[in-house]
Amino acid sequence: MMVAVNDTQVNPTKTKRILIIGYSFSGQTSGLVRQIMAALQQAGHEVVKERLTPDPALKFPTSSIWACLAMMLTTFLRIRTPIQALSPVCFTGFDLIILGGPTWSYNPSGPILSLIDRDGKRLFAGQTVLPVISCRGYWRMHRWGLVRLLVRSGATVPNCIVFSHPNREPWRTIGVFLKIAGKTPERWPILHRHYTHFGHSRDQQDEAARFGTLIGQALSRNQSLAGIEFHTPLALP
Ligand SMILES: Cc1cc2nc3c(=O)[nH]c(=O)nc-3n(C[C@H](O)[C@H](O)[C@H](O)COP(=O)(O)O)c2cc1C
């Protein structure tokens, strides 16, 4: 049964249905989203998970420095990455949709852009959507553009989770580029002193789990997600 609270349709039961849908190229977004999902399930919510599958498949890491540069250029031009059809369950309506994906050249990733082009209105219209962004550090344009696309599809976007890699610049950018190109910068002479780890830290994973708990509590109490502080020093160091 649905009742209207503050002009929106709210499922009054404590247990909510949540769709977690998204894409992860090098495993960083999926690591964060896994923590959020576990916390939501622990709180008793029903979670449906859908992974976007590029077709043809994308391989991480890329095969060379040149292939990595080509990927940076095509993603800067917002060239879409074709994806396979979604499972029919994705279109059954949810209390919350969590949309996870990385930043690619200041934009949402190609699979997410394809998803919104092809299924945006059918999937997101009338739904509450919480984006989860994983990036090395430059996320503002991505967040702005993504929220705009989601709202145009008919979604309500009450908040947004962003995690950036905790390394310092310029090592973060150099390290991410080399990692995507299939190198191991954390073992290179000199570089290894400044770049010890690719991607998000264990503390950030724990922070994602804490966010999941807060989301679960807000949903159970029929509270808006807008009031949750996701902009913390651990998420955005
Ligand atoms: C083609 C490409 C372009 C990227 N561009 C950006 C960017 O503009 N800003 C940024 O902060 N990170 C950028 N990144 C880094 C990723 O957003 C970051 O490594 C993220 O954690 C990857 O998440 P994933 O493993 O879920 O794919 C880029 C990565 C790739 C592969």
- Is residue 9 predicted with pLDDT exceeding 70? no
- Which residue, judged by its Cα, is nearest atom 7 of ligand 1? 105
Cis-peptide into 56, omega within 30 deg? yes
Confidence class for position 153, pLDDT limits 50, 70, 90: very high
Q: Report residue 73 as tokens.
A: 């250029």
pTM, entire model? 0.95
| Domains of the chain, CATH where assigned | 14-165+202-216 (3.40.50.360), 167-199 (no CATH)
The whole-chain average pLDDT of the chain stands at: 95
Tokens coding 67:
């292939």
Banded model confidence at residue 83, pLDDT cuts 50, 70, 90: very high
Q: State the Cα–Cα distance between residues 64 and 62, nearest whole angstrom.
A: 6
Residues with CB under 6 Å of ligand 1 are 24-29, 71-72, 75, 102-106, 134-139, 176, 180, 199
Q: Using the predicted structure, report yes or no on whether residue 202 has a pLDDT greater than 90.
A: yes
CA dist list (Å): 112 to 183, 214, 237: 26, 25, 25
What was the pLDDT predicted at 2?
Answer: 41
CA distance 29 to 8: 29
Of ligand 1's atoms, which has the minimum distance to the CA of residue 100? 26
The yes-or-no verdict on residue 7 having pLDDT over 80 is no
Amino acid present at 191? L
pLDDT at res. 6: 41
pLDDT at 11: 78
Determine the average pLDDT of the residues in 51-77.
Answer: 97
